Amino acid sequence: MDKADTVANKTPLYTLHRELDAKIVEFANYQMPLNYPSGIIKEHRHVRESAGLFDVSHMGQIKVTGDSAAESLESLLPTDLSKLDIGRQRYSFLTLDTGGILDDLMISRFEDHYLLVVNASNKHQDFDHIAGNLPADCTAELLDNRSLLALQGPLSREVMSRLCPDLRTMRFMDTMDTEVEGIKCQAFCSGYTGEDGFELATNYDDALKLAQLLLDQTEVQPVGLGARDSLRLEAGLCLHGNDIHPNTTPVAAGLAWAIPASRRKGGSKSGGFPGSEPILLELENGPTLTRVGIQPEGRAPVRAHCEIVIPTGESIGEVSSGGYGPTVGRPIAMGYVKSAYSHLGTELQAIVRGKPLNVKICHLPFVQHNYKKHYITSGANSA
């Protein structure tokens, strides 16, 4: 019996993962596929070249309704929901009074509600935080009866266009209510790989049918959490708990782009969110630490928590995520260093198993993002 068999939570695709001979691991108190028999590297490359299906049903989906929902959520998030159109979503984060990040999330606006997709390990904490700060005219609901599937890769649009022509014209960060072969879904043109792709939220009872429908397409293969992590690392995307957490600020993390001008100093809605004072001050003066891309020398991987030093041995930072990048064919990493050392090309050292390894500050992301950001008018592969 796998250790994972003792974990309580399973997604509606658990039996399918077992049938596909996935290696099951515990993640965020769920039994999840780490990889399938083809292995992490082949799964990773398949997503970059074709289309991969991920089960991300462990993630939290929080529905918020009410007359003052937008204003109430703006008191918790450094975003401007008055500028978020129906049928669109954006990246944001729940901040703390210290300026740290409680969690990062995607927030979508539908006709009669907002939907927040939050990290699996934080979903109950996030729900309590949001629900506890809403006024009487608003309601928050944690949608425990919902699943979430992600189809990612350059051929994902071709696949989805066959199954649901409505999705063919979606641009990056669009959302819509739709049906895929009769299965009701909320569709999101987004993902966690840097590739074009779609995320499909549907009822638990329909998830297995939807997954099987997608896997029946010749371009699609199942992909586990292992490749999901290497794909997001190549794309320079943050993992909560590693690259961002309550002790990192959005500015230090390089996420200031997600704070609109209206919430900054002098803006029409300046401040008014937890930690606004230290965050806005850091926007003006710059952070003490900065998240950077790290290129290790040679073939040895540099993992999270490795200390980063200057040649004299002085500690100036730490690796937050690291591993092998199958697309670039070498080890890659991200981490935080004192801002004075964050310039491209700066030569530093990472302490790996007690020994210094030469590393260099490099550009993020490690691979180009392939999002479709403009309206698509004809042909499944048009950009």
Please tell me the distance from the alpha carbon of residue 222 to that of residue 159, in angstroms, as a whole number: 14
Instruction: Give the total number of structural domains in the chain.
Output: 1
Residue 20 lies in a domain: yes
Tell me which residue has tokens 């100036």.
Answer: 316
Residue 229 lies in a domain: yes
> Around Cβ 343, how many Cβ atoms within 10 Å?
11
Per-residue pLDDT, 174: 99
What does the pLDDT look like over 77-113, one tens digit per residue?
999 999 999 999 999 999 999 999 999 999 999 999 9
Residue 225, domain CATH: 3.30.1360.120
What does the pLDDT look like over 42-88, one tens digit per residue?
999 999 999 999 999 999 999 999 999 999 999 999 999 999 999 99
What's the whole-model pTM score? 0.95
Please tell me the distance from the alpha carbon of residue 352 to that of residue 78, in angstroms, as a whole number: 37
Residue 160 lies in a domain: yes
Residue 322 lies in a domain: no
Backbone angles phi, psi at 213, to 5 degrees: -60, -45
Question: Which residue blocks in 51-155 are alpha helix, DSSP H?
Answer: 69-74, 123-131
What does the pLDDT look like over 305-347, one tens digit per residue?
999 999 999 999 999 999 999 999 999 999 999 999 999 999 9
Residue 175 lies in a domain: yes
Residue 115 lies in a domain: no
pLDDT band at 374 (very low <50, low <70, confident <90, very high): confident
Residue 211 lies in a domain: yes
Residue 204 lies in a domain: yes
Residue-number span of the structural domain to which 227 is assigned: 3-58+145-234
